[in-house]
Structure 1
Amino acid sequence: MLDEVLRRLDDAYTIRLSEEMIGTPSVTGEEEALAHYIKEKLESYGMKTKLEYVEPGRPNVYGVLSYSKPGKRLDYNAHTDTVPAGDDWRTDPFKAVTKDGRMYGRGACDMKTGIACSLNMIRAIADSGARFRGELSFSGVIDQEATDKGAWRMMEDPRWRSLDGVVLTYSYCGDETKPIPLGLTGKVLYDVKVKGRAAHGFRPHLGINAVEDAARIIANLDRLKLKDHPQFGKGTVCTLKTEGGYKVYSVVVPESARFEVNRLLVPGESVDYALADMRRMVVSLDLKSEVDVSIKPPRYEPYIASREAPLMSTLHEVYKTVMGREPLYEYAYGITNANIFQGEQGIESVHLGPQRGDPHSPNEYVKLEWLPPVSEMYARIALEYLK
Structure 2
Amino acid sequence: MRDELRQSVESKVEELVALTRDLIAFPTINPPGEAYRPCAEFIGERLKRKGFQVEYVRGESTPGDSDRYPRINVICRYEGRGPGPCVHFNSHIDVVEVGYGWTVDPFAGVVKDGKVFGRGACDMKGGLASSIIAAESLIECFPEFYGAIEISGTVDEESGGLGGVAYLARHGYFSKPRVDHVIIPEPLHKDQVCLGHRGVWWSEIETRGSIAHGSMPFLGDSAIRHMGAFLNVLEDELYPALSKKQTQMPVIPPGARSSTLNINSLHGGQDERHDGLPSPCVADSCRIVLDRRFLIEEPLEDVKQEIVEILENLRKTRRNFEYELKDLLEVLPVMADKDSPVARAVADGIKDVLQKDASYVVSPGTYDQKHITRLGHLHDCIAYGPGKLEMAHRPDEFVGIEDLVDSAKVMALAAYSLLTEPDASPITRTQSDHVHS
- With normalisation by structure 1, the TM-score equals 0.87
> 1:334 aligns to what SS in structure 2?
coil
Distance 1:274 1:367, change over 3 A: same
Q: 1:328 to 1:294 in 2, by over 3 A?
A: same
Partner of 1:386: 419
Q: Which moved more, 1:126-135 or 1:147-156?
A: 126-135
Distance 1:137 1:93, change over 3 A: same
* Corresponding residue of 2:184: 168
Match of 1:120 in 2: 133
More deviation, 67-76/329-338: 67-76
Distance, in Å, in 2 between the alignment partners of 1:120 and 1:182 is 23
Q: Count matched residues.
A: 382
CA distance in 2, matches of 1:21, 1:238: 31
Instruction: In structure 2, list runs of 5 or more residues that go unmatched.
Output: 60-64, 252-256, 272-277, 421-437
- Once the two structures are TM-superposed, the CA of residue 355 in structure 1 deviates from its matched residue by 3.0
1:257 aligns to what? 286
Contact kept? 2:180, 2:378, Cα under 8 Å: no
Deviation at 1:332, TM superposition (A): 3.0
In structure 2, what is the equivalent of residue 155 of structure 1?
169
Secondary structure in 2 aligned to 1:173?
A: coil
Match of 1:104 in 2: 117
Deviations 1:125-177 (A, max 9, x none): 223353334332111111223332312222221232333321111222245xx
Whether contact under 8 Å (1:208, 1:289) holds in the other structure is: no
- The separation in 2 between residues aligned to 1:374 and 1:145, in whole angstroms, is 22
The 2-side partners of 1:380 and 1:104 are apart by 27
> Does residue 27 in structure 1 map to residue 29 in structure 2?
yes
Counterpart Cα distance in 2 of 1:383 and 1:58: 32
Paired residue type of 2:323: V
Deviation by residue 1:286-321 (Cα, 9 ceiling, x = unmatched): 243332212214x42211232212211221122111
Q: Which residue of 1 aligns with 2:381?
A: 349
Equivalent residues of 1:161, 1:347 under 8 A apart: no
The answer to whether residue 38 in structure 2 is matched with residue 14 in structure 1 is no
Preserved contact between residue 300 and residue 343 of structure 1 (Cα < 8 Å): no
Q: Deviations over 1:228-265 (max 9, x none)?
A: 4333543111222223335644454x443221111111
SS in 2 for 1:50: strand
Output the CA distance in 1 between the equivalents of 2:41 and 2:122: 21
The counterpart of 1:138, out of the listed 142, 151, 156, is: 151
Counterpart residue number, 1:323: 354
The alpha-carbon distance between structure 1 residues 161 and 274, as it changes in their structure 2 partners (threshold 3 A), is farther
Q: CA deviation at 1:49?
A: 0.8
Asked whether 1:313 is paired with 2:327, we answer: no
Q: Residues 295 and 333 of structure 2 are in contact (CA less than 8 Å); yes or no, is this contact kept in structure 1?
A: yes
- TM-score normalised to structure 2 length: 0.78
Q: Distance in 2 between matches of 1:24 and 1:370?
A: 22
Cα distance, 1:386–1:290 mapped onto 2, change above 3 Å: same
Distance 1:106 1:268 in 2: 34
| CA shift in 2, pair 1:210/1:326, >3 Å | same
User: Residue 259 of structure 2 aligns with which residue?
Assistant: 235
TM superposition shift of 1:187: 1.2
Aligned mates of 1:244, 1:93 — CA distance in 2 = 32
Instruction: Provide Cα deviations, 1:319-356, integer angstroms capped at 9, x if missing partner.
Output: 11111001233333122222332366453322222233
SS of aligned partner of 2:200: strand
* Counterpart amino acid of residue 370 in structure 2: N
> CA-to-partner distance for each residue in 1:264-300, whole Å, 9 max, x for gaps?
1111335444333322332233243332212214x42
Structure 1 residues 371 and 197: CA distance shift in structure 2, 3 A: closer
> C-alpha distance in 1, partners of 2:38/2:164?
16
Amino acid at match of 1:27: I
Superposed, 1:272-351 pairs within 5 Å as 272-285=301-314, 286=316, 287=318, 288-297=320-329, 299-342=330-373, 345-351=377-383
- AA partner of residue 28 (structure 2): S
1:204-231 per-position Cα deviation (integer Å, ceiling 9, x unaligned)? 7776543332222222223487554333
Residues 1:235 and 1:44: Cα distance change in structure 2 (over 3 Å): same
Q: Distance in 1 between matches of 2:387 and 2:230?
A: 41
Whole-Å separation in 1 of the counterparts to 2:121 and 2:173: 31
Residues 102, 218 of structure 1: alpha-carbon distance in 2 compared, 3 angstrom cutoff: same
Decide whether the 8 Å contact of 1:45 with 1:127 is kept in 2. Answer: no
Is 1:53 the counterpart of 2:58 in the alignment?
A: yes
Where 2:159 maps in the other structure, the secondary structure is: coil
Please report how far the alpha carbon of residue 88 of structure 1 lies from its aligned counterpart in structure 2 after TM superposition.
Answer: 4.4
